[in-house]
Amino acid sequence: MSLLVVLPDEPGPSALPAAMSDALAAAGIELLGCTDLPGFAREAEALAPRQVLVCTAAPTRELSEVLRAWSGLPPCALSLASGPLDGARHEELVALGVHAWSPLESLDAASLVALLARAQARWQRERALRTELENLRTRMDERKWVDRAKGLLMSARGIGEDEAFGLLRGAAMHANLRLGEVSRSVIEAAQWADAINRAGQLRMLSQRLVRLAAQLLGGIDVQRARVLRAQSAERVQRNLDHLATLGLQAAGALALAEARTAWTVLSTALAARPSAAGLADIDHRAEVLLAAAEALTEALEASGARRALRIVNICGRQRMRAQRLAKDALLASALEQQAAQARLLPTMDEFEAALLELERAPLSTAEIRAGLASARDEWLRLVGGVRALESADGRAALVRSSEALVDTFEGLTASYEHSLQVIMS
């Protein structure tokens, strides 16, 4: 038994009463050292004794303050030898972590051994109870994560509860992890995939809102453009609000703040009456939001730290490119913007390269392959609309195909987001 003795006066060999020294020697207890109350916590941490014995004629409030720092959970058994205590003071000290008490004036070798034995027994029992409680909490927490992960798999993949549980159990065995750990990772992967999808939608919406402003200025399907503009603005705000609830890391939080600022500036410009000059300003502000959304999406992908999430980002970016191409085509036609005209070919090349990458990616299902085939067909119609931009039919086809591609890639992004490879990544 190693013991640290706490005395009310300056510690040192001469400070330990002779009767206490004799009692320790007779009991065969190793004295690690003596300390006073101010040095109590520091010495307990440095020496790591099996027990601490506080000897004082009258426990002071200073002792209570020292013990309160441990919140009733001292790192070892704690005994107190002091003058008489009333009931309230005794209860207070027990709540602060004192495990056993003995009158100071009658402390001899036998009573000292009995005091320390009581304190050790109580401390061990409390530690066992805390361990049992912590294990119970862990099991309850794991059960919560397992149930949530099963529900996610059942909903995303259309499978039964037994099959979902089998997937989780198999993954846990394969990774040599607890079932609760795997289940929590499944939920987190799904949350990151959803966050990346939502941030990616901001890119598309920034370009769609400019395209809709150009439609309104050019008198192209005006009624529908107004409805879609209101819906798109609401969607931007919803996504920003949702992402703000995720507790992002520093890089993600900064990128989200910049996206919010960019959206505030853009929404102000969108409220003005459409004009040629206003449209150029809206486009400029939308490019700022696009850059901020791109930075946010990249930060979320890096935070997720899962390679499988990259496919969600690639697919989601195609929504933006479809809107960007239609927007730039309308701007080049209505305003004869050279910059917009110059962006058409690079955007088309980027869209085609990403579509090829998605078509060749091993992460695929029959549903995804059908969606990619539909996207390929619609992409050809969009390109046709760009080439026939001088006609009213060509501009109408451009608008229809750009929206159809958004819908197609919305479905594809959701399919990737809910694919088993992403969920179990």
- Mind listing the pLDDT tens digit for each residue in 128-165? 888 888 888 877 888 888 898 898 888 777 788 898 88
Q: Report the pLDDT value the prediction gives residue 385, as an integer from 0 to 100.
A: 92
What is the rounded CA–CA span in Å between residue 205 and residue 208? 5
pLDDT at 46 over 90: no
Q: Report the pLDDT value the prediction gives residue 11, as an integer from 0 to 100.
A: 56
Helices (DSSP H) in 158-177: which residue ranges? Answer: 161-175
Q: Report the pLDDT value the prediction gives residue 319, as an integer from 0 to 100.
A: 94
**In Å, how far are 190, 313, 385 from 381, measured between CA atoms?**
33, 24, 6
Distance between start and end Cα atoms, the chain:
50
Residue with tokens 């006609």: 391
Q: Report the pLDDT value the prediction gives residue 9, as an integer from 0 to 100.
A: 62
**Lowest pLDDT segment from 177-191, 194-208, 241-255:** 177-191
Question: Per residue in 70-83, is it b (16+ CB within 10 Å) or e — as a string?
Answer: eeeebebbbbbbbe
Contact 120, 77 (CB under 8 A): yes
Model confidence at 421, pLDDT cuts 50, 70, 90, reads: low
Contact 100, 137 (CB under 8 A): no
Strand order in the sheet with 30-35: 30-35, 2-6, 51-56, 77-82, 100-103
Q: Report the pLDDT value the prediction gives residue 345, as an integer from 0 to 100.
A: 93
Model confidence at 304, pLDDT cuts 50, 70, 90, reads: low
What single-letter DSSP state applies at residue 176? T
Model confidence at 337, pLDDT cuts 50, 70, 90, reads: confident
pLDDT at 37 over 70: yes
What is the rounded CA–CA span in Å between residue 423 and residue 233? 30
The pLDDT of 161-184, averaged and rounded, is: 83
Q: Report the pLDDT value the prediction gives residue 287, as an integer from 0 to 100.
A: 95
pLDDT at 179 over 70: yes
Q: Report the pLDDT value the prediction gives residue 367, as an integer from 0 to 100.
A: 87
Phi, psi (5° rounding) for residue 30?
-80, 125
Model confidence at 422, pLDDT cuts 50, 70, 90, reads: low
Q: What percent of the chain has pLDDT over 90?
A: 39
Q: Report the pLDDT value the prediction gives residue 373, as an integer from 0 to 100.
A: 95
pLDDT at 14 over 70: no
Contact 381, 305 (CB under 8 A): no
The pLDDT of 324-333, averaged and rounded, is: 91
Residue with tokens 């958004």: 406
pLDDT at 21 over 70: yes
Ramachandran sector of residue 176 (left: φ over 0; alpha: ψ -120 to 50; beta: rest): left
* Mean predicted lDDT score pLDDT of the chain: 87
Q: Report the pLDDT value the prediction gives residue 420, as an integer from 0 to 100.
A: 61
Model confidence at 12, pLDDT cuts 50, 70, 90, reads: low
Model confidence at 121, pLDDT cuts 50, 70, 90, reads: very high
Identify the top-confidence range among 2-11, 148-157, 182-191, 290-299. 290-299
Contact 93, 66 (CB under 8 A): no
Contact 161, 150 (CB under 8 A): yes
Q: Report the pLDDT value the prediction gives residue 225, as an integer from 0 to 100.
A: 93
The pLDDT of 206-210, averaged and rounded, is: 96
The pLDDT of 394-417, averaged and rounded, is: 91
Q: Report the pLDDT value the prediction gives residue 425, as an integer from 0 to 100.
A: 57
